């Protein structure tokens, strides 16, 4: 019976060590590649010159918005589609709206892109 208790303790110790190792491994990745903090509205979030990098990153990550706009007919794959860069450049001419181009271009995941739009 004493051997059985020692075996259980040993198994529990191994499982605990595995959990701690896994947590350190995955949290270490975030330390090596931190995601950008969402910017506030007032700092320079990027101009129309930053649209290409933002749209390229959206496409690379497979995030919503990479395809641009479906145009007036609201159907993608038709002649009136508007590419992501054109949508971005059009929106950046309005001083009250931003696509957070620099944050979007630096994001490492679609979730990080979403956080770019969470205004402080």
Task: Decide if 107 contacts 57 (C-beta within 8 A).
Answer: yes
Q: What is the pLDDT of residues 24-65, one digit of tens each?
A: 555 554 555 566 655 444 445 788 889 999 999 999 999 999
The helix-helix angle for 84-91 and 51-61 (nearest 10°) equals 140
Query: What is residue 92's predicted lDDT score, i.e. its pLDDT?
Result: 80
- The pTM (predicted TM-score) of the whole model is 0.61
Query: What is residue 4's predicted lDDT score, i.e. its pLDDT?
Result: 65
Percentage of the chain modeled with pLDDT above 90: 37
Nearest to 99 by CA among 60, 74, 59, 65: 65
Contact residues for 103 (Cβ-Cβ < 8 A; gap 6+): 36, 38, 39, 45, 46, 113, 116
Task: Decide if 58 contacts 113 (C-beta within 8 A).
Answer: yes
Q: What is the chain's percent helix, strand, coil content, to nearest 5? A: 55, 0, 45
């Amino acid at each position: 019976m004493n051997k059985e208790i020692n075996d259980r303790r040993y198994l529990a110790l191994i499982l605990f060590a595995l959990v701690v190792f896994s947590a350190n491994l995955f949290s270490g990745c975030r330390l090596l590649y931190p995601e950008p903090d969402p910017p506030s509205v007032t700092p320079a979030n990027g101009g129309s010159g930053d649209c290409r990098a933002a749209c390229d990153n959206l496409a690379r990550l497979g995030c919503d918005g990479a395809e641009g706009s479906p145009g007036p007919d609201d159907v993608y794959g038709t002649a009136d589609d508007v590419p992501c860069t054109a949508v971005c450049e059009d929106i950046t001419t309005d001083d009250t709206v931003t696509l957070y181009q620099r944050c979007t271009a630096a994001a490492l995941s679609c979730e990080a892109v979403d956080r770019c739009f969470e205004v402080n």
